[in-house]
Structure 1
Amino acid sequence: MALGTFSLICHPQTPAVGVKSLRVEWEARGDALVLRYCVGGAGGLVLPAPAAPERHDDLWKTTCFELFLGREGTTYQEFNFSPSSRWATYGFADYRGQSHDADMPIAPVIAITRAGDEAVCEVRLPRAILDGAVCAGLTAVIEEAGGHKSYWALDHGEGRPDFHKRSCFTLQLAAAEAP
């Protein structure tokens, strides 16, 4: 079931240098959730070196694609996907409260491809991660040549970039999956 394509917005306090666009294609296929993060104007995009596909912290320090899933109340889960194939997931009881490593029933499969001036990072996840989620935030940290970073999200709200704000979780999952 295709849930759609969503355009991310670059935070105005961190304008991109060469990256022109970032969209996320969200598709549920059988027991898999497939996210494709498509970066337009990716000529200067910095990609981390390929690595073993394992859990790793601090992935957001360079190019990293992210998913936030909000649950009822204030709980939420953060997923980080590095083009290197490393990943992480954290659970939070409240906004930026004490985090813990969250369980991943099956490790995500992450692949990066480049075609012309576009880079696509495809992430395949177990669809079961959506169980109990009511909303989602799609985000990315983009590093370009020279160490310049820009922050992309469906919505940023007020102030500095902060993907953990519930106001950034604008994709309503029940509505997105309705026929």
Structure 2
Amino acid sequence: MNHSYTVLYEDIKLRSLEEKDIEKVRNWRNLEWARTSFLNADIISQEQQLAWYQKYIKKENDLMFVIEWGGMDIGIVALYNIDYTKSIAEFGRLLIGEPLARGKGIGKKVVKAICNFGFNEIKIETIVLEVLESNSYATKIYLDAGFNCKDKYLTVGKTIYKMEIQKGAIDG
């Protein structure tokens, strides 16, 4: 799969994840506050991160991006489980890892950028996501960007919202 994309949206840039990025991503993902936003809250080792990356680059349905803002890498986001036949993809792995970039509205811009990319560049019609009910900050971003809550369920003691957005529903 082509893992070489660049997406520009307002003052942010999404660029394809490269091997040189994986240690920075691992450090962001291992931050205490970040781990609690994911279903799997385990600490990730360097070996686990490298093994994940080696599997990732072989996948035909997974696109991971590094978020750049103000000339610096600040986070990550992905479209994955892309099903071109059914015209659907899953959105996730959104993490603004750099503290100075948090609370500045970048998350909503990233959501809009990646959705526009999915709809217009890789030609999917529906994007779905799952978010922990306890992650109210992310849930608000997704609702503000145009996602609708379609279901709610419990897994491993955590409540999950299933959300989706259709092509044409994103604002901006």
> Could you state the TM-score of these two structures normalised by the residue count of structure 1?
0.32
Larger helix percent: 2
Task: Name whichever structure is richer in strand by fraction.
Answer: 1
Of structures 1 and 2, the one scoring higher in RCO (CA 8 A, sep 6+) is 1
TM-score (norm 2): 0.32
